[in-house]
Chain A
Amino acid sequence: MTERLESREKVTGAARYAFEYPVENVAYAAAVQASVGRGEVVAVDADSVLALPGVLAVLSHENAPKLHDPPDGELALFQSRTVSYRGQFVAVVVGETLETAREGARRLRVEYAAESPDVRLRTDHPDLYKPDKVNPTFPADTEQGEPEDAYGCSAVRVDVTYTTPAEHNNPMEPHTTLAQWNDDGLTLYDSTQGASSVQNIIARVFGLDRTQVRVVSPHVGGGFGSKGSPRPNVVIAAMAARAVGRPVKFAVPRQQMYATTGYRTPTIQRFRVGADSDGRLNAVLHDVVEQTSTVKEFAEQTATPTRVMYQAPHRRTSHRLVALDVPTPSWMRAPGETPGMYALESVMDELAVATGVDPIELRIRNEPDRDPENGLPFSSRNLVACLQEGAERFGWAGRDPAPRARREGRKLVGMGVAASTYPAYMAPNRATARAEPDGTFTIRIAAADIGTGARTTLALIAAETLKADLGDVRVEIGDSSLPKATVAGGSSGTAGWGTAVVRACEALRAELNGGLPAEGLEVSADTTEEVKAREAFSRHAFGAQFAEVEVDADTGEVRVRRMLGVFAAGRIINPVTARSQFIGGMTMGIGMALMEESVMDREFGDYLNRDLAQYHVPSCADVRDVDAVWVEESDPHLNPMGAKGIGEIGIVGAAAAVGNAVHHATGVRVRSLPITPATLVPRL
């Protein structure tokens, strides 16, 4: 068992997060959000706020400095009078204290010329369009064979539409930046998933050289995708600090996060699947409609897992977007896979019911021997092993397939299963390994540990490669002055960072053959060429999720009694943190299934339930018997560790497993998340 290297700091309160760096003479920022859903700022009454004691500055489009080259509208803070969605930042007040800044922001009068916003996602929206690509670079549409015709003449057909609501990442640490200008440039203590990427982007925004920006982020209080790129808080803090000539810190208040720091788009997904009477798929059509904002396009890759999961000679996937007057959606844990697999795996359950084939057997029957769309071999694919292992452990064999067959007093009890998948990405990275004169080692890479356990995992990887004791390996991450690294995103950290660490350590060992020089020895590695030279394979992790639920027949309350995830994700490097990652993802999946929903205000724009009292995430009482295990998987086509990423797969399929269990318990198929008493009661 390997505990987290920063454990002690985290349980004693010594671990510093972005807001907590002691800097002299710090001032505080509080931001003001647009109170109209669309329109223009007509006037900002800065003077009366500037007159308040302790207020240092008010910045808005009226006086904000021109930014050099913001990569997108979300970072072009206060550069125009346009309001693109309700809740967009329109001004910031800087004060001597938090209380003063907040009071100033509360009192700032902003006048608008308001227009009525268009905020309703619908499949018949006249402005639906096909994006050039979906996140990050997948084609929007794919097609093989004659899907429409094949569907039409299939023996068994399922034609259903699933919807998922907007959901918010809600990391416990709000998006936070402490910005300090000095003679050399700008230092940012930032809550980010990628110090190198913040460094690059913020340098560009302020017209600086990359080396003039330093980003420090050793501890980050979660992100789940929402800190994968700089959000407005970074620009606001830096701009404010420059304006007042003092360090400034800004943590986005929880309520403001809902509009300004990203969320998962709502989706409307029509599925048509055609199969023979034994459940063998003949045609799969997955057509997705989702939203983006008018500020910046984000196209969630919702149908991409359908391209990978099951064989079917005739197939089609498509994504259509509409740019609404809404906050800008972004990455949230397993973008694409999470909503897409919820729908696909629910549809597979419907097909199982329609054909009378056991849901596990149905998936086994449709297991492809190659990637069904691109024809590449899988580097490894152990979905079937996960399903079988899970069935054994969960007690699937005793399940009566008839819905609503098990009742215990007021409780209807059911069991569901769903598959899970996530790509095994890997990107080029750099790292250095240094042998210190005292015989210890230091590994440096601008990686991030947002709670994943990356720091510990990289240390384990380094110790193994160096054949050193873990206690003799120090890992420095979370600082842009370290060798450049990719963001903690796409579950790619262990693969991408780990490979750079392995190569640096290998090179160091080779050089150390000549003995350790008195001043120590440092070598560096860059994996750009290695990543480019990878053979063509379809690389994905797979898993199987099992859920047992009880549904109160009178109140419609659903509780997850037991949940088990079985995953095949290559070699698991640190079982302790891996299990926590899987279970953490599954826990978020319970939230997705049963409670998480951001409700759009159709009249005025922005999300209505913008705090943790109204946007419900799972609490301790919601998570009972949840466990995760994995099957042995040896895959030589991945990376030197043989590891696939595990940060996201835990949420994928979790909501479908719960939904399928609800159907099994009640006979009611809910096709719209979350599954709440309000949707269930009328149908029980």
Chain B
Amino acid sequence: MNNATTPVHADITLVVNGQEHRLNVDTRASLLDVLRETLGLTGSKKGCDHGQCGACTILIDGRRANGCLALAVAHDGADIVTVEGLAQGDQLSPIQRAFIEQDAFQCGYCTPGQLCSATGMLDEVARGWPSVVTDDLGSDPVLNDDEIRERMSGNLCRCGAYVGIVAAVKQAAQDREAAEA
């Protein structure tokens, strides 16, 4: 047997939504497939498997990333948050609530990725990270509609719920500010 065709497995540990998992993964497996197929966390979606749609967006060590582009074996020890981990028990997060109130989804397939992406993005803004449409790189970015659209453009929505998505992100950002004030 040609070695290249024999699956190679490796032991890794992942912390997903606060829970630790010891796993023996196929080294070819993406984080997305491990979450969905091995751990049964099917909230993260697969739209393209090539980093082109954002449906698989999760938070890896606090930063948003495409789960389909991340090899599981390369993330031993990572702390991962998926859409299943955004709510606190029954209490939806502000961004989840805002998505419902602004009808920011239709089929719902891009939605877990949008939610994780928005969660990570609001953190990026809070940390003062600029985007390509930020005019003044010297001061903290102001999260206007153009900033939201730019920063959310890695998450495609074929249903065309962008108008609602922008409204929802804005609402969640305001809720967050109000909570911090």
A-B interaction: yes
Determine the residue in chain A with the shortest Cβ distance to B2. Answer: A52
- Are the C-beta atoms of B108 and A618 separated by less than 8 Å? no
Q: Which of B4-40 contact A (CB under 8 A)?
A: 5-7, 26, 28-29, 33, 36-37, 40
Determine the residue in chain B with the shortest Cβ distance to A650. Answer: B160
- Are the C-beta atoms of B5 and A224 separated by less than 8 Å? no
Whole-angstrom distance between the Cβ of B89 and the nearest chain A Cβ: 11
Name which of B109, B110, B166 has the most chain A CB atoms within 10 A of its CB. Answer: B109
State in angstroms the CA–CA spacing of A349 and B41 once bound together: 52
State in angstroms the CA–CA spacing of A220 and B87 once bound together: 23
Contact partners of A221 in chain B: CB under 8 A:
45, 107-110
Contact partners of A251 in chain B: CB under 8 A:
46
Does B84 touch A at the CB level, under 8 Å? yes
- Are the C-beta atoms of B159 and A222 separated by less than 8 Å? yes
- Are the C-beta atoms of B45 and A172 separated by less than 8 Å? yes
Q: How many contacts A-B (CB < 8 Å)? A: 194
Contact with A along B33-77 (1 / 0, CB 8 A): 100110011111111111011010000000000000000000000
Query: Number of B interface residues, CB 8 Å?
Result: 64
- Are the C-beta atoms of B159 and A612 separated by less than 8 Å? no
Q: Which of these binds chain A: B95-103, B122-130, B135-143, B173-181?
A: B95-103
Chain A interface size range = 35 or more
Q: Which of A96-124 contact B (CB under 8 A)?
A: 97-100, 103, 107
Q: Which of A44-102 contact B (CB under 8 A)?
A: 51-54, 97-100
- Are the C-beta atoms of A100 and B163 separated by less than 8 Å? no
Partner of A451, one of B146, B159, B163: B159
Contact with B along A584-619 (1 / 0, CB 8 A): 111110000000000000000000000111000111
- Are the C-beta atoms of A619 and B158 separated by less than 8 Å? no
Contact partners of A513 in chain B: CB under 8 A:
none
Does A425 touch B at the CB level, under 8 Å? no
Contact partners of A19 in chain B: CB under 8 A:
36, 42, 46
- Are the C-beta atoms of B163 and A623 separated by less than 8 Å? yes
Contact with B along A229-257 (1 / 0, CB 8 A): 00000000000000000000001011100
Does A12 touch B at the CB level, under 8 Å? yes
Does A684 touch B at the CB level, under 8 Å? no
Contact partners of B78 in chain A: CB under 8 A:
none
Contact partners of A53 in chain B: CB under 8 A:
1, 5-7
State in angstroms the CA–CA spacing of A99 and B29 once bound together: 7
- Are the C-beta atoms of B87 and A12 separated by less than 8 Å? yes
Whole-angstrom distance between the Cβ of A567 and the nearest chain B Cβ: 15
Does A626 touch B at the CB level, under 8 Å? yes
| Contact A10:B108 (CB < 8 A) given known A577-B103, A584-B161 | yes
Does A155 touch B at the CB level, under 8 Å? no
| Contact A11:B92 (CB < 8 A) given known A17-B45, A585-B160 | yes
Between A and B, 24 residue pairs with Cβ closer than 8 Å are: A9-B108, A10-B105, A13-B41, A13-B84, A19-B46, A97-B26, A98-B37, A171-B107, A172-B55, A172-B107, A172-B110, A173-B109, A174-B46, A174-B47, A451-B108, A583-B160, A587-B160, A611-B48, A612-B48, A612-B53, A613-B50, A617-B158, A621-B153, A624-B145
